Amino acid sequence: MPKPLFSPGRLLLANTLFTFSFATTVNPTSSFAQTTAPTFSATATRPENNAVLAPWAGSYGGVPAFDKIEVAQFKPALEAAMAENLKEIQAIASNSQASTFENTIAALERAGKTLDQVRTVYGVWTGTMSSPEVQLVEREMAPKMAAFSDQITQNEPLFRRIEAVYNSPDKKKLTPEQQRLAFVYYNNFVRAGAKLDAKAKMRLSAINQELAGLFTRFSQNVLADETDSVLVLKAPADLGGLPTSLREDAANAATARKLSAAGVITNTRSSIDPFLTYSDQRKLREKAWRMFVNRGDNGGAHDNNALITQILQLRAERAKLLGYATHAHLRLDNTMAKTPEKAMALMEEVWTPAVARVKEEVADMQALAKKEGATFKIEPWDYRYYAEKVRKERYDLDQNEVKQYLQLDKMREGMFWVAGELFNFTFSPVTNVPVYHPDVKVWEVKDKTSGKPVGLWYFDPYARTGKRSGAWMNAYRKQERIDGKPVTTIVSNNSNFVKGKDSVPTLISWTDATTLFHEFGHALHGLSSNVTYPTLSGTSVVRDYVEFPSQVLENWLSTPQVLQRFAVHYQTGKPIPQALVDRIEKAATFNQGFETTEFLASALIDMKLHLAGDQKIDPDKFERETLAQLGMPSEIVMRHRTPQFSHVFSSDGYSAGYYSYLWSVVIAADAYGAFTEAGGPYDKAVGKRLTQQIFSVGNTVDPAEAYRSFRGRDPKTEALMRERGFPVKDAKASKTTDKKAPGKKKG
């Protein structure tokens, strides 16, 4: 899942309405009932010797000076860059000449370069180096940044100029990309409240600033629970059932925290999930599970429930101000799905067979547990443990056996090889680029045939204190050629693998390897970009489309070409045996009830929370009662429980939009069918179409039209249902898109 850096200098044109950055938003000083909003002052002067403000210099078109950054530089740099950008905006808005694409839209594209770079560096620190000092800056700056954004989108003279270009009869003389850009600017300004009256604009800005604070408090609360809570394994017996690699990881975590213990399980998914899968200590499994699922829900200073209530009410009020029934309707109006009802229909279509499959999976686990002498009912902390036992019994497949062949470095090499075959890229390590942490490595990307530079790829693979959990992609710089000067992109992938000793290869699970390919798909989406204007570049597409390129790339992990060359045993160097690969393929649909249901539970709660309008919601109660109404199996918990649902409550990014992962999976499954129907996963003709019509076009083309160009038709759900082993319904009723409603939006 990417978390694109929002750039105020790009005027909210990332199509992610009201998103400021993944977690760069904070506790406001304004009250919940505020009806007036402060404005950001444009009087800040540019400080000298500030590395955050320094233009990116050096090779590769310039790179961030990560090695010179100091936390104390962020606030003055942000204030100076915003002030500079406001002056640029004012010059465009006050231009006495008639509005044209060049002096308005293109001028806006050229503005904010300094702020883009400042926000990029700031976003890296808040996402991966979030010390208490960084968090203090966040809490102070978020309301100012929200006010700054609103000053641009609510600038009436500026909007009138944008509107004039959009409505001009001369627009048809523009190139298709320029016409698309004019539409995107106009649409985003309208959705940001440009047409509201002065009083409504004032209230909208107050809401945005209030939300900015609540988002950051939410995010910092989750990070605090992840950082402060660990499961200490006191005695060797507490490591029972854990394979050697996990024992070593736990011991290393204890050493890193300077604890005298047999091991430590940290409160992140990359540590918790393997423990729940292999630990034979049921009471400890329950402790680990409760520690993880109760993040943000423990009462006290880091509890998120009251924040969620306020966020939901503010979003509902904002939606009404903007003329929408609910926040869900506001968010989906600018997507492929277009309406909450259409997204709900897809989720409900998959929910029923997924839950039915869960019942079968639980029955199998319960039977195995009983055979082993257990007298208890399967609980959520038992699911992964007994699922793994059933997998091993039924398919003779031990995930830990598979893990011995999945070395992180080798999987990375496999991704590079796939990128060479599908996208004609080469990756070469570079050491002359500053990094913000010793774990971060950098590669130069070039076209394999011409040797032409494509960009840089930064990789930050390991978990550490102050780094938010999960995996994501960022674009530090977008590809563009607005003035005929090609600007190459800089992208990064970020993960949270548990780092072992330097001399020992990091082994990852099959699920982790899949996630690695997924996030690399986002990076390739950015690296493949071939557009003129930065606002339309790379991953700047609609939310329920942006996950499609990443989802589709997951398919190449299991291809024989990757497994035979790169899935090699970490000790012997021998490739993974074909017999083991066959067992992996045979078990491909195993546990899909669990995987699908835990995701859909989160997606459905997200949508229903935002369809509830201005109801004052008790999050825990709403979650509990709604899941009961849905028939949620008691043996499963949501993948992201509401109090820790950062996708939805640390920004507006995926709010009423978590469904988009399923939407994108449908498209990805259907798209991969184009390869299987042709010459296979490395079919050159299909690969060329995928690059030219999907990965390279960014947001220059409506996504529904782009997909039809690639596939020749709209996507269908049948491929997903088959992929997960679910019953396939009548094909005529199984489509995700409508030719009459192409839609648009961001991810």
Q: Which residues contact 61 (CB under 8 A, 6 or more apart)?
A: 453, 477, 487, 488
Determine the number of helices (DSSP H) and then strands (DSSP E) in the chain. 27, 7
Annotated catalytic residue 519? yes
Residue 299 region, left (φ>0) first, then alpha (ψ -120 to 50), else beta? left
* Helix runs in 257-326, H state only: 269-278, 282-293, 305-321
CB count, 10 Å around CB of 732? 7
> What's the CA gap between 115 and 400, in Å, rounded?
46
SS3 string, 13-47, reads CCCCCCCCCCCCCCCCCCCCCCCCCCCCCCCCCCC
SS3 string, 322-367, reads CCCCCHHHHHHCCCCCCCHHHHHHHHHHHHHHHHHHHHHHHHHHHH
How far apart, in Å, are the Cα atoms of 442 and each of 47, 155, 417, 459, 683? Answer: 30, 40, 17, 6, 30
How many Cα atoms are found within 13 Å in the side-chain-facing hemisphere of 188?
A: 31
What is the secondary structure of 476-536 as a DSSP string?
EE--B-TTS--B-EEEEEEEEEPP--TTSPPB--HHHHHHHHHHHHHHHHHHT---S-GGG
> What's the CA gap between 498 and 268, in Å, rounded?
10
In 640-687, the DSSP E strands lie at: none
Q: Are 556 and 529 in contact (CB under 8 A)?
A: no
In 396-452, the DSSP E strands lie at: 425-430, 441-447
Q: Which residues contact 168 (CB under 8 A, 6 or more apart)?
A: 99
Q: Return the H-helix or E-strand segment holding 460.
A: strand 453-462
Burial-class residue 171 by CB neighbours within 10 Å (0-12, 13-18, 19+): middle
Angle at 479 between CA 426 and CA 550, to 5 degrees: 65
Choose the catalytic residue: 163, 210, 519, 623: 519
Q: Which of the residues are catalytic?
A: 519
